[in-house]
Structure 1
Amino acid sequence: MKLKPVSMEVFAEARGEAHYVLARVMGDLAPGEYVLRLGVDMEGQERPLSAALPLTVEGTGSLDDLVGADGKRFDNFALLLACGLAQRLSYGVMYLRSPASEPDGPATVQAWRLAWGVLNGCTAAEAAELLGDGVQAVFVDAPGVHGGDDGEGEGIYPPEAYRIV
C-alpha cells in the first residue's frame, strides 16, 4: 500500500483521535461480547484494508466494568483508523456488532461512515442500507465518536482534510 504523505504532526493528531474514538466506543459498552470492524479505502489502493477488534466487557454495567481487547489487534485497528483519519481522500465504514439481547435474537449494529478524515454516525436506516445485505441484525443510530462531538452536526477532524493543497 502506498499512502500520500502527511506530516508527522497530522498523523500524531490522527493517532490520538483514533485512540479517543476507540475509548469512546469502548466506554459506552454494556457487559457482553462485541466485534468492532473497520474497512478503509484510500486513493490509489486496489482493495480496501480492513481490521476487526473483538471486545469483551465484564462487569455489571457500571463505570468499573473491564473492557478486554487483544493488544496486537487493538494496535492494528487503531493504526488503520489513524491512517483513515489522516488521509484526506479516504473513505470507508466502521461498525460495531453488539450481542443479541435475547438468546436467539438478532445482534445490534451501529455504523459510522468514514469520509474526508471524519467518522460520522449513521442513522439506523443508513446503517441498514450500508451493511444490510443478508445481515441478521437490528440497526440502531450511532452516536458521535470524535472529540468534542455532542451528537449534533459533524466532527471537523482534521482541519487539513478541508484544505485544498
Structure 2
Amino acid sequence: MKLKPVSLDVFAEARDEAHVVLARVMARLAPGEHVLRLGVGMDGQERPLSATLPVTVQGEGGSEDLVGVESRYFDNFVFLLAVGLAQTLCYGVMYLRSPAVDEGGPACTVQAWNLTWGVLNECEAARAAELIGDREPAAFVDAFGVHTSAEEDAEAVYPPVAYTVL
C-alpha cells in the first residue's frame, strides 16, 4: 500500500485523536469481555489492514471498574487507527463487540463506526449490520460519537482506571 505522505504534526494529531477515541469507547463499556476490531484499506489495496483490541472491564459498572488491555494490541490498534485518521484517502470500519445485556437474545451486541476522509462516523444499527454482515452473529445497536469537538478538551484519560495486563 502506498500512502500519501503526511507531516509528523498531522500524524501526531491523528495519534492523539486515536487515543481520545479509545478513551471514549472504554468509558462506555460495561463489565465483561469486549473486542474492538478495525479494518483500514485504500483503493488498489488487495486486503485491508486489520487490528484487534481485546478489552476486559472488571467491576460492577461503577467508577471504580478496571479497564484492561494488553499493550501490544493497544499500540497496534492506536497506530492503525492513527493512520486511518491521518490519511484522508483511507477507508474502513471500526466495530465493538460486547456481551449482550438481555439473556434471551443474541450472545453479543455490535456497534460500528465507518472510517472515511479521516473521520469515524457512528453507524445506525441497520448500517452496522450491512457493514459487518455475517462476521458477527449479534444484535446490532446504534453507535455513539467518538470524536472530540472544537469546544472539548482533547486530552485522553482512560476511564475510570486503565492498566496494562502483562
User: After TM superposition, is the score higher than 0.5?
Assistant: yes
1:118 matches 2:119: yes
User: What's the offset of the Cα at 1:149?
Assistant: 8.4
* Unaligned ranges ≥5, structure 2: 152-166
Question: TM-score if structure 2 supplies the norm length?
Answer: 0.85
Q: Is the 8 A contact 1:55 1:69 kept in 2?
A: yes
Question: Residues 4 and 119 of structure 1: is their aligned pair in 2 closer, same or farther, counting only changes over 3 Å?
Answer: same
**What is the rounded CA distance, in whole Å, between the counterparts of 1:24 and 1:49 in structure 2?**
23
Equivalent position of 2:7 in the other structure: 7
How many residues align structurally? 150
Amino acid at match of 1:81: L
Q: Percent identity?
A: 69
* Unaligned ranges ≥5, structure 1: 151-165
User: What's the offset of the Cα at 1:130?
Assistant: 1.1
**Tell me, what secondary structure is at the counterpart of 2:149?**
coil
Equivalent position of 1:17 in the other structure: 17
**What is the rounded CA distance, in whole Å, between the counterparts of 1:30 and 1:127 in structure 2?**
20
User: What's the offset of the Cα at 1:114?
Assistant: 0.1
Question: Residues 27 and 92 of structure 1: is their aligned pair in 2 closer, same or farther, counting only changes over 3 Å?
Answer: same
Which segment is superposed worse, 86-95 or 43-52?
43-52
Equivalent position of 2:128 in the other structure: 127
User: What's the offset of the Cα at 1:67?
Assistant: 0.5
